[in-house]
Homo-oligomer: A and B are copies of this chain.
Amino acid sequence: MRYPNSARVYQKTSSHNTSRRGMSFEEDINQSNLYYLKQDLAVVHKKPTPVTIVKVSYPQRSAAKITEAYFKLPSTTDYNGIYKGKYLDFEAKECHSDKSFPFSSIHPHQVEHLRSVNRHGGIAFILLRMNIFNEDYLIKAEDFLEFYDSKKRKSLPYSWIQENGHLISFRLYAPVDYLPVVDKLYDL
């Protein structure tokens, strides 16, 4: 027998559907940054998505409308700002595998950007959400680059992430509460 509107009663029975975190990783980070900003703890913003604008129309009495544009490859990471007087820079990534995080998910430009921030004395890292394990990690750029440069593998194994990454706690107002981890790792 088929129920009316059967699609509506269907529920996904994923064993990992217990996420404490509400939304996408990006939204969770944005919410954390907004909380930090309002508490005047740090000034960190996500950069806008880079697009190449080709055509704009100017309808009368209303806002300019972009009618043709394309996504551009980012030349830097998505987030940067200032914390305790220090320059802070990071890229946020989600990983849907339970085995490893593939390097193909991070653009070479972004890796080089992290390297150069690091060289200039900034605090550079990757925030990595392991979706299947419902875990968020902070991975220092130094540690990431060492493994990346060794060219041993084309991905970060989960075991490496557990050993070298630093777990980030969830807080209601800062769902990805990375600042306490930054304090500890960089002696701030």
Which residue numbers of A lie inside 8 Å of B, CB to CB?
A: 37, 40, 42-43, 45, 47-51, 53, 63-72, 75-76, 80-89, 113, 116-117, 119-122
Contacts and interface: CB of A to CB of B under 8 A. Distances in A.
User: How many chain copies?
Assistant: 2
A135 B67 CA distance: 36
A50 B83 CA distance: 23
Contacts of A122: 43, 82, 85, 87
30 contacts: A37-B116, A40-B116, A40-B119, A43-B113, A43-B117, A47-B47, A47-B48, A48-B48, A48-B49, A48-B50, A48-B72, A49-B53, A51-B51, A51-B53, A51-B69, A63-B71, A66-B66, A66-B68, A66-B70, A66-B71, A67-B67, A69-B69, A80-B80, A80-B81, A82-B87, A82-B121, A83-B120, A85-B87, A85-B120, A87-B122
